[in-house]
């Protein structure tokens, strides 16, 4: 039953309580950071990383496993030897200079447009989980309906600025058609910005065609509406699938994340500083290629960071070196004056437990203090990304809201009024009933909904629930209150028709569509 229906049915005190406790789903605007960033490298060390990266590009080179990219680089003046491209530093820096330092994203609801770059940051949910933990905390394979559930929750979480794309993999849809239904779910269940699939160049083209249906012909030529992610194969390799998808996005003037995939100690040197030098070279090579494709198109310095356990070989999250790398990469991205992406609230825990919380908190604090712009994997990530937990999803989203408030910095607008309250109350008094407190208590201190700060007696009266159970109850409540944002009927019909047509054209097989 909707809030409006409950209020109409009950009236009086119950109605006021329903209104007071109803979920607030208005999206927070772009986070405009008000805190200074942490910069552990001095100017000389930044230049040392920069020079080392350029030396890697010139002397070692980067493999581009794609004949079109190799021809593009030849025309651009690079030294191409087989699949290995040696990039002159002057060429790289001239190309990097043409990347816009700021991006404005346009949502289908204009009130949810966001800005990226400089002090402007956004939170984006996790993606790519092949498993989920559902509303009963059961680990299982997800369906397209489950993906819709996550998109609905993303729509209702104020601190999340995007519905992402395949938060979980819908295993009931054949792989060849999956990108169509994922994109439609992102568009249908939320009116926030969303990401675009880059699982193949053909899939990327389909996603961009659907974006054109949603936003209108020609709109994307001058407006960013979606984001593609292209992962590198570290060390120093970019493959044909990712490069083809990159070309699709750049040609339509849509931002792409140029993301080396770092497993520190496995595909980088076992050294934090040297790993960043390699990652920086990889990112620069891809960022430069976006400008070879289309000069002036938006691009984002990306990466995925992990270190590898030397005992088991498993990727680790929340380690001190990942935090240090985030700080360093922030400095490098600012040196080149380009927006940058990182990963947030990561963890390797198998359930939503203390390990999950500690790892996620460790990662998030570094992410916020590093000045990242596109803050991806901000809700739900657990088990090294193997599953997305509904309980952790809603808690993570609230933690993002807490981080949002902290990173805004100190509010000074009521300083004089608050000082006057000290004179009014005087020694030995209290502020609970003072007009300034009554007017400001909600904005003065963040009050989390999912963390229990009551007495143990009250906690027992309320059912002795732990954070996981409170989160699952909250998720069920949110889904009960969810109201789908209206999608223009003609656009909806055109999107459905496009999906039907492409589903007939692409063979229904469990493999990526590379040919149709």
| Residue 426 included in any domain | no
| Residue 169 included in any domain | yes
Count CA atoms closer than 13 A to 356's CA, side-chain side. 23
pLDDT digits (tens, 9 = 90+) for 91-114: 999 999 999 999 999 999 999 999
| Residue 471 included in any domain | no
| Residue 386 included in any domain | yes
Give the Cα separation of 67 and 438 in Å (integer).
66
Give the Cα separation of 130 and 385 in Å (integer).
8
Give the Cα separation of 172 and 144 in Å (integer).
7
Confidence band, pLDDT 50/70/90 cuts, at residue 15: low
Strand, helix or coil for residue 234 = coil
User: Which of 260, 278, 329 is closest to 60 using CA atoms?
Assistant: 278
**Greatest distance between any 2 Cα atoms in the chain:** 80
Confidence band, pLDDT 50/70/90 cuts, at residue 17: low
Q: How far is CA 25 from the centre of its chain?
A: 19
Instruction: Look at the chain and count its residues.
Output: 516
Q: Per the structure block, which two tokens stand in for 414?
A: 């009521």
Residue listed under structure tokens 């990219």: 69
Look at residue 317 in the predicted model and tell me its pLDDT. Answer: 83
More confident residue, 119 or 307: 119
Query: Residue 259 belongs to a domain with what CATH number?
Result: 3.20.20.480
Q: Per the structure block, which two tokens stand in for 492?
A: 């909806």
Instruction: Point out the least confidently predicted range of 38-42, 82-86, 317-321.
Output: 317-321
| Residue 43 included in any domain | no
Look at residue 306 in the predicted model and tell me its pLDDT. Answer: 86
- If one counts the domains in the chain, the total is 1
Please state whether the predicted TM-score (pTM) of the whole model is above 0.75: yes
DSSP string across 483-494: -PPP--HHHHHH
Confidence band, pLDDT 50/70/90 cuts, at residue 3: low
Q: Name the residue range of residue 323's domain.
A: 96-408
Confidence band, pLDDT 50/70/90 cuts, at residue 9: low
CB 397 within 8 A of CB 450: no
Share of the chain above pLDDT 70, in %: 95
Give the Cα separation of 16 and 10 in Å (integer).
9
User: Which of 403, 258, 279 is closest to 345 using CA atoms?
Assistant: 403
| Residue 510 included in any domain | no
User: Which of 355, 343, 341 is closest to 392 using CA atoms?
Assistant: 355
Q: Find the distance separating the first CA and the last CA of the chain, reported in whole Å.
A: 44
User: Which of 37, 185, 198 is closest to 499 using CA atoms?
Assistant: 185
Residue 210 clears pLDDT 90, i.e. is over it: yes
φ, ψ of residue 356 to 5 degrees: the values are -60, -40
Query: Which strands sit side by side in the sheet containing 299-301, from one edge to the other?
Result: 228-231, 256-259, 299-301
CB 476 within 8 A of CB 146: no
pLDDT digits (tens, 9 = 90+) for 364-416: 999 999 999 999 999 999 999 999 999 999 999 999 999 999 999 999 999 99
Residue 242 clears pLDDT 60, i.e. is over it: yes
* b/e 211-227 (16+ beta carbons within 10 angstroms → b): bbbbbeeeebeeebbbb
Confidence band, pLDDT 50/70/90 cuts, at residue 348: very high
Instruction: Point out the least confidently predicted range of 277-291, 429-443, 488-502.
Output: 429-443
More confident residue, 134 or 311: 134
Confidence band, pLDDT 50/70/90 cuts, at residue 192: very high
Give the Cα separation of 108 and 449 in Å (integer).
29
> What's the mean pLDDT in 166-186?
98
| Residue 491 included in any domain | no
Look at residue 308 in the predicted model and tell me its pLDDT. Answer: 85
């Amino acid at each position: 039953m909707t809030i409006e229906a409950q209020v109409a049915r009950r009236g009086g005190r119950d109605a006021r309580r329903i209104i007071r406790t109803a979920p607030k789903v208005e999206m927070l605007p772009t986070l405009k950071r008000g805190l200074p960033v942490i910069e552990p490298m001095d100017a000389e060390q930044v230049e040392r990383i920069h020079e080392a990266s350029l030396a890697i590009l010139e002397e070692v080179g980067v493999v581009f496993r794609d004949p079109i990219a190799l021809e593009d680089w030849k025309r651009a003046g690079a030294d191409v030897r087989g699949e290995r491209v040696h990039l002159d530093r002057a060429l790289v820096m001239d190309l990097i200079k043409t990347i816009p330092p700021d991006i404005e994203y346009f949502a289908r609801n204009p009130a949810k447009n966001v800005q990226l770059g400089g002090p402007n940051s956004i939170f984006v949910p996790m993606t790519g989980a092949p498993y989920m933990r559902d509303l009963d905390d059961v680990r299982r394979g997800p369906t397209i309906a489950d993906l819709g559930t996550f998109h609905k929750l993303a729509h209702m979480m104020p601190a999340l600025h995007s519905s992402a794309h395949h938060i979980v993999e819908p295993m009931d849809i054949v792989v060849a058609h999956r990108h169509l239904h994922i994109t439609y779910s992102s568009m249908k269940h939320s009116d926030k910005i969303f990401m675009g699939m880059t699982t193949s160049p053909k899939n990327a083209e389909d996603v961009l065609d659907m974006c054109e249906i949603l936003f209108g012909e020609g709109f994307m030529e001058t407006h960013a509406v979606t984001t593609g992610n292209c992962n590198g194969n570290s060390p120093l390799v970019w493959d044909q699938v990712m490069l083809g998808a990159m070309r699709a996005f750049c040609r339509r003037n849509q931002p792409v994340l140029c993301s080396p995939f770092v497993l520190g100690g496995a595909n980088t040197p076992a050294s934090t500083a040297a790993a960043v030098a390699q990652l920086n070279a990889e990112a620069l090579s891809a960022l430069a290629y976006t400008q070879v494709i289309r000069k002036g198109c938006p691009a984002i310095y990306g990466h995925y960071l992990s270190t590898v356990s030397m005992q088991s070989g498993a990727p680790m999250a929340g380690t001190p070196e990942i935090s240090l790398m985030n700080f360093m990469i922030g400095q490098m991205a600012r040196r080149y004056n380009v927006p940058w992406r990182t990963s947030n609230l990561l963890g390797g825990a198998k359930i939503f437990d203390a390990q999950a919380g500690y790892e996620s908190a460790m990662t998030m604090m570094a992410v916020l203090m590093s000045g990242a712009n596109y803050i991806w994997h901000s809700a739900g990530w657990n088990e090294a990304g193997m599953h997305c937990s509904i309980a952790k999803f809603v808690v993570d989203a609230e933690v993002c809201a807490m981080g949002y408030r902290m990173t805004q910095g100190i509010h000074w607008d009521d300083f004089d009024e608050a000082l006057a309250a000290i004179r009014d109350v005087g020694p030995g008094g209290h502020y609970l009933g003072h007009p300034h407190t009554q007017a400001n208590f909600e904005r003065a201190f963040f009050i989390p909904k999912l963390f229990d700060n009551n007495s143990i007696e009250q906690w027992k009266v309320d059912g002795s629930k732990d954070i996981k159970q409170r989160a699952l109850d909250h998720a069920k409540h949110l889904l009960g209150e969810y109201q789908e944002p209206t999608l223009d009927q003609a656009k909806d019909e055109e999107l459905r028709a496009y999906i039907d047509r492409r589903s007939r054209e692409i063979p229904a097989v469990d493999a990526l569509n590379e040919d149709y």
